[in-house]
Amino acid sequence: TGGFSQEAPTLHNPYRDDPILDRVLRRLLPESQYVKVSADLTKFGDRITSEIEHLGRQAELEQPRLEHQDAWGKRIDKLVVCNEWQKLKQICAEEGVISIGYENDVDPFVRRIHQVAKLFLFSPSAGLVSCPMAMTDGAVKTLTVGILYSLNLYGKHKLATEAVDRLRSRDPTSAWTSGQWMTEKKGGSDVAGGCDTYAVQIENDTYRLNGYKWFSSAIDADVALTLARIVDSDGNAVEGSRGLSLFLLRIRDDNGNLNGIQMVRLKNKLGTKQLPTAELLLDGAIAERIGEPGRGVAGISNMLNITRIHNAVASLGYMRRFPALFSFLFKCSFSRIISLARDYSTKRVVFGQTQVKYSKWPLHTTTLAKMEVETRGSMLLLFESARLLGLSEAGKSSDVDAMMLRLITPVLKLYAGKQAVPLVSEGIECFGGQGYMEDTGLPTILRDAQVTPIWEGTTNVLSLDVLRVFSGKENILLAFGKRVSQLLSNTKSEEPRLQKSKESIESALKELQKLLVKASDSAVQGETRIDT
Ligand code: MFK
Ligand code: FAD
């Protein structure tokens, strides 16, 4: 065996080892709330190291499978997931990963920041259970905003009320999770053009759905939100976006029988192998229409805007593993550390010195510094989105805050997703050959990171979403500029570079505004290239 064995890195409490996250929370939360949130995150951090990290790794090693038939040839479409996956879902309920975002006795502003911080710690160890959690959060938001609160139907709409109560439950024996079935063979970006699922009314808001859903993740969920075209009594359906309505359905009944659904196959994916993603045939699935007919895309956008924030959490979680890995090299200036990394960088000896000594090598230092700074920038944007989301849910947003949330969400998702793959790849290289070895668990991170720019809207599609928001509201960037300038003015430092930053930010934003107006005009004229 060569006589020498590299000592393996150990994961330490990721909250205690992340002073930057702590600093962000101290800045954003009132002191009394900070103390509570911090105590919860410290406890959760311990649970990550002692329990969750191992479960997440096992979920990658024991991947889900689909059994189509029983021994006697009866069609069963049985999805088999490992115990660790189930356990991770239970932990999410116990820890309130979703419910924290909705608890009535806490200021919404605080609870969203708390939730995002908790997800941020959880995500890289979560064995992709973070995916059903994202969709579950999105479903609660959609059902509450789109139906129960806006139409005053809480307690009256039976399925939606039960779903909301169970999706945000802390009781693992009764908690549900939700799927999000939008993508079809003809279109994932172009949901409206690609949707060939049809809904025939049975009575009132109850319909029977027929169609084929091409990508459906976390198919062990209890309910799903999906889109379909309502067929009228003459057998006609409206084409395009305005023909789509939003539906909520149970995936299985109380006896575990599928609700008019066939699981055709599980996707054979590059990564996210822990996560069961299926092609589904909806063959008369019974579903409840939610919200107004023809407002399906607008309705499910509530879900998209939440899952896109979760997606950024995932991108950041993957990135955070790497610069953090080497942050020990830089002591306080690169203080966002996870213990795993610290261990590795202090144990690995190269050219007669431990890896820590790399900090003397400018080229390596530059690489690590770039990774660290990039990750920190996106992390701050993530917490700004959590702050704005909380403000809007507390009914405390100004018009500018509301518009900033709408604008920042796609920017955050597209930027963090796009950033994650090269950054994680760089991180893999920092481990040398060991980074390429399956049994270190590191390649999983690269595979999984590659999905974050794709699902929940690709980079170009989200760029178009930015233009959708921007169009007609050009002054939004200047309002944003004012906020940045204000923050810079509030800083105590007399540092001349800060003053210079302020000026350059203002002129850069003016430039950006001109470019976006141009891009927006091109998009309106049907050109989808955004060279600017
Ligand atoms: C680990 C964490 C990550 C978790 C991942 C979970 C697993 C993965 C799950 C998925 O990938 S689910 C599938 C995700 N699919 C997408 O993200 C689709 C990407 N495509 C788009 O986002 C397109 O822009 C869109 C489908 C929305 C375009 O549809 P339309 O019908 O052509 O849009 P249109 O006509 O411009 O807008 C219709 C209405 O929706 C408008 O409202 P009004 O009618 O009131 O004017 C829009 O303003 C509104 N809208 C669209 N996007 C919105 C929005 N409103 C708010 N927010 C948005 N983001
Ligand atoms: P397309 O829309 O065909 O896009 C192909 C390319 O064209 C992309 O580069 C895109 O950016 C570009 N493009 C498209 N339109 C434009 C435009 N107007 N301007 C410029 N460029 C454009 N979907 C679900 O509904 N539920 C799920 O649970 C789910 N889980 C998934 C799990 C995994 C692992 C993966 C990989 C996908 C999952 N998806 C799911 C599907 C995912 O959301 C879609 O793949 C994604 O939205 C892209 O759609 P598409 O595959 O049809 O690509």
Alpha helices in 123-240 (DSSP H): 130-143, 158-167, 191-194
Q: Angle, to 10 degrees, between the axis of helix 130-143 and the axis of helix 158-167?
A: 140
Q: What is the mean pLDDT of residues 389-417?
A: 93
197 CB under 6 A from ligand 2? no
> Residue 257's pLDDT is what?
94
Structure tokens at 367: 């690489």
What distance in Å separates the CA atoms of residue 404 and residue 478, rounded to the nearest whole number?
Answer: 11
Chain position carrying tokens 């990394």: 341
Out of 6-20, 244-258, 371-385, the most confident range is: 244-258
514 CA from centroid of ligand 1 (Å): 25
pLDDT digits (tens, 9 = 90+) for 206-221: 999 999 999 999 999 9
Q: How far is the CA of 23 from the centre of ligand 2 (A)?
A: 36
Q: How does the average pLDDT of the chain come out, rounded?
A: 87
Identify the CA nearest to 244 among candidates 181, 179, 167.
Answer: 181
Taking the C-alpha atoms of residue 322 and residue 373, their distance in angstroms, rounded to an integer, is: 12
Ligand 1 centre to CA of 44 (Å) is 33
Angle at 317 between CA 362 and CA 421, to 5 degrees: 65
Query: Of 120, 145, 103, which Cα lies nearest the Cα of 48?
Result: 120
Looking only at the bridges linking them, the beta strands covering 223-230 and 261-266 are unpaired
What is the pairing mode between strands 198-203 and 223-230? parallel
pLDDT of residue 491: 66
Nearest-atom index, ligand 1, CA of 305: 59
Confidence (pLDDT) at 277: 98
Q: Is the CB of 189 under 6 A from ligand 2?
A: yes
Rounded-to-integer distance, Cα 420 and Cα 451, Å: 10
pTM for the model: 0.93
**188 in contact with ligand 2, CB cutoff 6 A:** yes
Whether residue 55 is predicted with pLDDT greater than 70 in this model: the reply is yes
Structure confidence at residue 399 (pLDDT): 86
Q: 336 vs 204, which has greater pLDDT?
A: 204
Q: Is the pLDDT of residue 359 over 60?
A: no
Cβ-based neighbour number of residue 206 at 10 Å = 14
State how far the Cα of 77 lies from the Cα of 314, in Å rounded to an integer: 30
43 and 36 in contact (C-beta within 8 Å)? no
Closest residue CA from atom 50 of ligand 1: 298
| Cβ contact 390:402 at 8 Å | no
Does the beta carbon of 528 sit less than 6 angstroms from any atom of ligand 2?
yes
pLDDT digits (tens, 9 = 90+) for 241-288: 999 999 999 999 989 999 999 999 999 999 999 999 999 999 999 999
Helix H segments across 155-254?
158-167, 191-194
Q: What is the rounded average pLDDT of the residues 111-121? A: 96
Q: Is the pLDDT of residue 111 over 80?
A: yes
Residue 424 Cα to ligand 2 midpoint, Å, equals: 22
Q: Whose CA is nearest to atom 35 of ligand 2?
A: 455
Let me know how long the chain is: 532
Confirm or reject: Cβ of 216 under 6 Å from ligand 2: yes
pLDDT tier for residue 316 given thresholds of 50, 70 and 90: very high
Sign of CA dihedral 325, 328, 332, 337: positive
Give dist(CA 390, CA 111) in Å, integer.
Answer: 7
**Percent of the chain topping pLDDT 70:** 86
- 390, 111 Cβ separation under 8 angstroms: yes
Residue 244 Cα: closest atom of ligand 1: 31
Q: Please say whether the beta carbons of 88 and 127 come within 8 A.
A: yes
Tokens of 252: 């299985």
| DSSP designation for 428 | H
Q: Which of 215, 263, 273, 529 to mutate to test the pocket of ligand 2 (most atoms within 8 A of CB)?
A: 215
Supply the pLDDT for residue 531: 45
Tell which one of 191, 242, 273 to mutate to probe ligand 1, the residue whose CB is within 8 A of the most ligand atoms: 191
Measure 521 CA to ligand 1 centroid, in angstroms.
20
Q: How far is the CA of 315 from the centre of ligand 2 (A)?
A: 17
**pLDDT score, position 481:** 74
Which residue carries 């599980």 as its tokens?
A: 266
How confident is the model over 344-356, as pLDDT tens digits? Answer: 555 565 666 655 4
Contact yes or no for 320/122 (Cβ under 8 A): no
Q: Candidates 189, 279, 301: which one to mutate for ligand 1, based on the most atoms within 8 Å of Cβ?
A: 301
* Contact (Cβ atoms closer than 8 angstroms) between residue 246 and residue 291: yes
Q: Give the residue among 449, 386, 308 at the shortest CA–CA distance from 28.
A: 386
List ligand 1's pocket residues with C-beta within 6 A: 130-131, 134-135, 180, 182-183, 188-189, 191-192, 217, 241, 297-298, 301, 304-305, 307, 310-311, 314, 455-457, 461, 465, 468
Q: How many Å lie between the centroid of ligand 1 and the Cα of residue 337?
A: 36
Least confident of 132-141, 183-192, 237-246, 367-376: 367-376
- Nearest Cα to Cα of residue 330 among 356, 304, 292: 356
pLDDT at position 74 over 90: yes
pLDDT of the residue at 330:
40
Please choose, from the candidates 207, 102, 222, 221, the residue with its C-alpha nearest in 3D space to the C-alpha of residue 162.
222
Rounded to the nearest angstrom, the distance between the alpha carbon of 184 and the centre of ligand 2 is 10
Residues 6+ apart with CB under 8 A from 284: 208, 209, 210, 260
| Residue 170 main-chain phi, psi, to 5 deg | -100, 0
Query: Could you read off the pLDDT of 423-476 as tens digits, one per residue?
Result: 888 888 888 888 899 998 889 999 999 999 999 999 999 999 998 888 777 777
Looking from the CA of residue 460, the nearest atom of ligand 2 is 11
User: What is the tens place of the pLDDT at every residue in 125-148?
Assistant: 999 999 999 999 999 999 998 778
Dihedral pair phi/psi, residue 402, rounded to 5° = -65, -45
Question: Which residue puts its alpha carbon closest to atom 4 of ligand 2?
Answer: 189
- What pLDDT score does 521 carry? 73
Under 8 Å between Cβ of 431 and 443: no
Confidence (pLDDT) at 354: 58
Can you read off the two tokens belonging to residue 465?
């979403």
Say yes or no: CB of residue 183 within 6 Å of ligand 2: yes
The pLDDT of residue 342 is: 40
Q: How far is the CA of 188 from the centre of ligand 2 (A)?
A: 4
Ligand 2 center–CA 142 separation, angstroms: 21
| Token digits of residue 385 | 């989105």
Chain CA centroid to CA 168, Å: 17
State whether the beta carbon of 180 lies less than 6 angstroms from ligand 2: yes
Tell me what pLDDT residue 400 has. Answer: 85
User: What pLDDT is stored for residue 237 in this prediction?
Assistant: 93
Q: Tell me how far apart the alpha carbons of residues 2 and 422 are, in angstroms, rounded to a whole number.
A: 33
Report the half-sphere exposure of 163 (CA within 13 A, side-chain side). Answer: 34
H helix and E strand count, the chain: 16, 11
Given the structure tokens 């990774």, which residue do they identify?
Answer: 371
CA of 105 to the centre of ligand 2 (A): 38
Higher-confidence position of 493 and 513? 513
**DSSP bridge pairs for 65:** 80
Closest atom, ligand 1, to C-alpha of 297: 40
SS3 content of the chain, % helix, strand, coil (to 5): 55, 15, 30
Per-residue pLDDT, 508: 77
- Does residue 119 have a pLDDT over 80? yes
Contact 334, 368 (CB under 8 A): yes
Q: Which residue has the higher pLDDT, 329 or 385?
A: 385
